[in-house]
Amino acid sequence: MLAISVMNGLVMGVIYALAALGVSLVVGIMNVINFAHGELYILAGYFSFLFASVLGLPVAPAMALAVALVFLFGLLIERLLIRPTYGNDMYSLILTFILSIVLQNAFLLIFGPYPNKPPLWVRGASDIFGLFSYGNQRLAALLSGAVLIAAVFLLIQKTWFGRIVRATSQDRGMAEWNGVNTTRLNMLSFGLGCALAAAAGVILSPVFPVTPTAGVPIALTAFVVVVLGGMGSLWGCVVGGLLLGLVENLGAAFVSSGYKNVFGFIILILVLLIRPAGLFGRAKL
Amino acid sequence: MLLEGRKISKRFGGVQALSEVDFHVEAGSITALIGPNGAGKTTLFNIVAGAIKPSSGQTVFEGREITGLPADEICRRGIARTFQIVRPFATMTCLENVLVAAVNRHPRRPRAALEPGARDLLAQVGLADLAGQEARHLNVVQKKLLELARALATEPRLLLLDEVLGGLNTQEILQAVEQIRRLRDRAGITILWIEHVMGAIMQAADRVIVLDQGRVLTAAPPREVVSDPRVIRAYLGE
């Protein structure tokens, strides 16, 4: 029981961390909160379902295509909805909130209220250290999520793009005076943030099917993780995501599954009481 | 003429920060910009560097108008600036700080090709040993030098210096003035320089533009400026 809850917690934690990284990137660079983050997660799940289950593409290309399309959609959102609002954060908040409602209803219209599920990547289950048997699909989700998180860290810490991202998140004006085209950087990072939501979506949707409104709790959790970890801190997203995933699943197993979402908020309140800026609040990207 | 300002005015609400300022900076010169506090020096810098737009008037750099262009575009045209209060990217190493500027100057060049140049710039300002150190661990003088190296990495033809000597001791001031001269003499970078340390200006500047209450009081070689009764009156009052 304990071991399985820990495994479930890790799987969910990695997905939370991935979704939160997307939010954190966009907040850190653009100071914009994308309320449609969860719907983009769902959109990628639907795409992946559409390409793999309906059109019959192999699983991997279907997922890659889904993430790429959501990335492009993200660029479009930035260009059409976010860019005209720079200078007033409230407008982008309202616009992305409207976008989330529009997307939810579009999903309902196109796919109906029923859960849809892309095919599993792998079947069967593995024996974990002789303790318990665990679904291969969940193991694959855990592994691919962890690899993606590592890739995001490499991108931010080691590449040109990452250096420019860090410089801009620390001092936007100074970055511009050093030649950074922040308009283009905004667009790219918003697209990347959406792509991270999409990656979380394609990884988890074979386990937890997508419905038109299933993105709401995912986005809420991602926001909780970002605040828990500290605004703009990438490590905060990872630690916060894992912490939340573990607490929710252990709480559900040993206290009551009815309170699953409450545990996250209890942790959030406790952390904020002690460290108001979040776990890694002062660190920058 | 490298830089020219034509009838630049800037109004902040009810305050007329600059009114019809005409000025120019000769290519290859060290031009100082002085004036009492509130004269509009930093506002003029911000307009030239693209941080704010003038209410009216034009700025022309190398014969092309640059009024109102975004800061990163002005940087790419060849104007760099440093700040009175230093602003390094604190959690990045010195080398990374310089590389951010270099990579935006040469977006298509492979990263390995840029690193020697960046190290070279750090060596030029005397920070070679601190290349791997995070910028927040530097002292104020080192941070200023880092900011200079970073500005140079954008390969400017005009460098705007905003009170680089503030907080330095006499010895450090001498070194900094020497450094600024070398930039002009060896790298051929034209310098427009806001400064309060008059001794340094007397030593290094070819020409001094004096601003007072948002207007150009005079523009002349430093010896003439310090003996100009209008300038003395602006600083000391009647």
User: Which domains are delineated in chain A?
Assistant: 2-111+134-274 (1.10.3470)
Picking from A170, A179, A183, the nearest residue to B89 by CB comes out as: A170
CB distance B91 to A284 below 8 Å: yes
Closest chain A residue by Cα to residue B95: A163
CB-defined contacts A:B, below 8 A? 70
Q: Any chain B CB within 8 A of the CB of A178?
A: yes
Rounded to whole angstroms, what are the CA distances from B182 to A56, A99, A273, B30, B101?
68, 56, 55, 11, 21
CA distance readout (Å), A141 to A120, A201, B205: 10, 11, 65
Q: Please tell me if residue A276 touches chain B, with a CB cutoff of 8 Å.
A: no
- Burial of B111 from C-beta contacts in 10 A (0-12 / 13-18 / 19+): middle
CA of A162 vs chain B CAs: smallest distance (Å): 10
Give which of B111, B114, B138, B136 is closest to B126, Cα–Cα: B138
Task: Out of B50, B51, B100, name the one closest to residue A167 (CB).
Answer: B100
Question: What fold, for B3-78+156-236?
Answer: Rossmann fold (3.40.50)
The residue extents of the domains of chain B are: 3-78+156-236, 90-155
How far apart (Å, rounded) are the C-alpha atoms in residues A196 and A213?
A: 19
Q: Do A177 and B75 touch (CB under 8 A)?
A: yes
From first to last of the 285 residues of chain A, give the pLDDT tens digit: 788 889 999 999 999 999 999 999 998 888 889 999 999 999 999 999 999 988 989 989 999 999 999 999 999 999 999 999 987 888 999 999 999 999 999 999 999 999 998 888 888 888 877 778 888 889 999 999 999 999 999 999 888 889 899 999 888 888 998 889 999 999 999 999 999 999 999 999 999 999 999 999 889 899 999 988 888 788 899 999 999 999 988 988 888 877 877 888 888 888 888 888 888 775 444
Q: Please identify which residue in the block is written with the tokens 């070279």.
A: B120
| A14, A15, A20, A21 alpha-carbon torsion, rounded to 10° | 70
Query: Is B71 in contact with A173 (Cβ distance < 8 A)?
Result: yes
Q: Which of A66, A53, A10 is nearest to A198 (CA)?
A: A66
Point out which residues pair with B35 in neighbouring strands.
Answer: none
Q: Which of A171, A181, A284 sits opposite B72 (nearest CB)?
A: A181
Q: Which of B75, B87, B91 sits opposite A179 (nearest CB)?
A: B75
Inter-chain CB proximity A176 and B91 less than 8 Å: no
What are the pLDDT tens digits along chain B (238 aa)?
899 999 999 999 888 999 999 999 999 999 999 998 888 999 999 999 988 999 999 999 999 999 989 999 999 999 999 888 888 998 899 999 999 999 888 888 877 888 999 999 999 888 999 999 999 999 988 999 999 999 999 999 999 999 888 888 888 899 889 989 999 998 899 999 999 888 899 889 999 999 999 999 999 999 998 888 888 888 877 6
How far B72 CA lies from chain A's nearest CA (Å)?
A: 4
Q: Which of A198, A194, A184, A195 is nearest to A83 (CA)?
A: A184
Task: Note whether A175 contacts B100, CB cutoff 8 Å.
Answer: yes
Facing residue for A177 by CB, picked from B49, B92, B103: B49
Nearest chain A residue to B49 by CA distance is A177
- Please give the backbone phi and psi of residue B78, each rounded to the nearest 5 degrees, phi first: 120, 25
CA of B81 to nearest chain A CA: how many angstroms apart? 7
Q: Judge: B92–A163 Cβ closer than 8 Å, yes or no.
A: yes
pLDDT on residue A132: 81
User: Which two tokens mark A215?
Assistant: 């993105």
> Please, are residues A17 and A149 in contact by the beta-carbon 8 Å criterion?
yes
B80 and A177: CB-CB below 8 Å? yes
* ipTM score assigned to the predicted complex: 0.73
- B64-65 and B56-61 beta bridge pairing: antiparallel
Contacts of A178 in chain B (CB under 8 A): 75, 80, 100-101, 104, 150-151, 153-154
A157 touches chain B (CB under 8 A): no
Could you give the CA distance from residue B201 to residue B194 in angstroms, rounded to a whole number?
9
**Cβ–Cβ contact A282 with B under 8 A:** no
Ranges of beta strands (E only) in chain B are 3-12, 15-25, 30-34, 56-61, 64-65, 79-81, 158-162, 190-194, 207-212, 215-220
Contacts of A38 (CB under 8 A, 6+ apart): A19, A100, A197, A214, A215, A216, A217, A218, A219, A220, A222
Closest CB from B49, B100, B151 relative to A163? B100
